[in-house]
Amino acid sequence: MGCCNRFRFAVWVTLWPALAYGQLNHPGPNQNVLLSGRLKNPDGISISNATVVLGSATPGSDLSAMRTTANGWFAFSTLAGRSYTLHFSAPGYAIQTLPVAVAAGNRFSELPDTVLTVGSTAAESLTPSVKQALSRATLPADLLEHIKNDLGFPDVDECLKRAGDDTFEQAFRTTWLKLGLSRNYELFIEAFGPCLGGANNFPQLVYARFGTSWRKVFDGIGSRLDVLPNRTHGFRDLARWQHGSAFMSAEVVYQYNGQEYKAVRCTDVEFEDWMTKPKRTPCKDWKASEP
């Protein structure tokens, strides 16, 4: 069975972003901001299963992608003070690009409804950056099978149908990360929704390509995954954040052992208020993963 079947009967809260991002955020240029919006057609009807790609204005930065849910909703984790570009693509509609500047001071940024124009876009009219962004939004078939198995599909298929989603891809968000020293990018999967995630913490998977095959190198549950500057066996260290309450979270640091990521350190992070430096203490009764 997949790693995440335990969530199939989790109570779902429609305001999950507020809960998941209730901690770790202080006013300033590096605060996390949840950027969200809805995609609609000219008649005001939500567009489901459309591809949305978020890219930073910085060349060579990571790209995140997701499919809109049944009500046209999309959301991405961003950093305050940064500029991004959103690309929207859906069958029967012209491809649209929207520049977005994320302001500091708020933990959530909800965009006005994005309305797509009926029609099509000639491939030759797309810039190289838009072509790259949209191409990465489509996952290789062999990798998609790995993701389905690890997230408990087809066990959740009926649940997805009841939620109104048309495809399995609407239940997770992808981000291409540069973790290793090779030219390949690694793929970070964040599952969400009533069928695959809880109200605060969600299944997190990272896949790396070795030769011609994909291998899962990270498997966890949390509200956020940070890429750290240090490397172990050629791969960047990772920090998994797990939501505990509005003022408490756990940060678990992982290092690559040559085959997969293993937890090496856990820290409880307590926020007294939004302006005070957080208090950090080692997690109680916690042991590192076996090497």
Residue 261 has pLDDT above 80, yes or no: yes
Global pTM reads: 0.79
DSSP state of 46: B
Closest CA to 153 of 132, 134, 167, 139: 167
- The answer to whether residue 290 is domain-embedded is no
Q: How far is it, in rounded angstroms, from Cα 162 to Cα 169? A: 15
- The answer to whether residue 289 is domain-embedded is no
Q: Which residues contact 46 (CB under 8 A, 6 or more apart)?
A: 38, 39, 40, 68, 70, 71, 72, 73
pLDDT for position 243? 86
Closest CA to 289 of 267, 266, 264, 268: 264
Domain that holds residue 84: 5-282
pLDDT for position 58? 65
- The answer to whether residue 291 is domain-embedded is no
On the 0-12 / 13-18 / 19+ scale of CB atoms within 10 A, 175 is buried
pLDDT for position 86? 92
Closest CA to 272 of 246, 253, 254: 246
Q: 36 — phi, psi (to 5°)?
A: -135, 165
What is the side-by-side order of every strand in the sheet holding 213-222? 96-101, 83-89, 51-56, 63-67, 172-177, 186-191, 202-210, 213-222
Report residue 205 as tokens.
Answer: 């998977």
Closest CA to 239 of 229, 250, 225: 225
- The answer to whether residue 184 is domain-embedded is yes
- The answer to whether residue 287 is domain-embedded is no
Closest CA to 144 of 207, 99, 199: 207
- The answer to whether residue 66 is domain-embedded is yes
Lowest mean pLDDT: which of 20-29, 107-116, 123-132, 185-194?
Answer: 20-29
pLDDT for position 5? 40
- The answer to whether residue 118 is domain-embedded is yes
What's 202's domain CATH number? 2.60.40.10
- Count: domains in the chain: 1
**Predicted confidence (pLDDT) per residue in 73-109, tens digit:** 998 888 888 899 999 999 999 999 999 998 877 778 8
Q: Distance of CA 59 to CAs 97, 100, 102, 104, 124, Å?
A: 16, 16, 17, 22, 21
Q: How far is it, in rounded angstroms, from Cα 71 to Cα 146? A: 27
Q: 70 — phi, psi (to 5°)?
A: -60, -30
Q: 162 — phi, psi (to 5°)?
A: -65, -30
If one counts every other C-beta atom within 10 angstroms of the C-beta of residue 44, the result is: 8
pLDDT for position 50? 93
pLDDT for position 228? 95
Q: Return the percentage of the chain with pLDDT > 90, whole number.
A: 38
**Predicted confidence (pLDDT) per residue in 133-150, tens digit:** 788 788 888 888 888 888
Token pair 């797509």 in the structure block, residue: 116
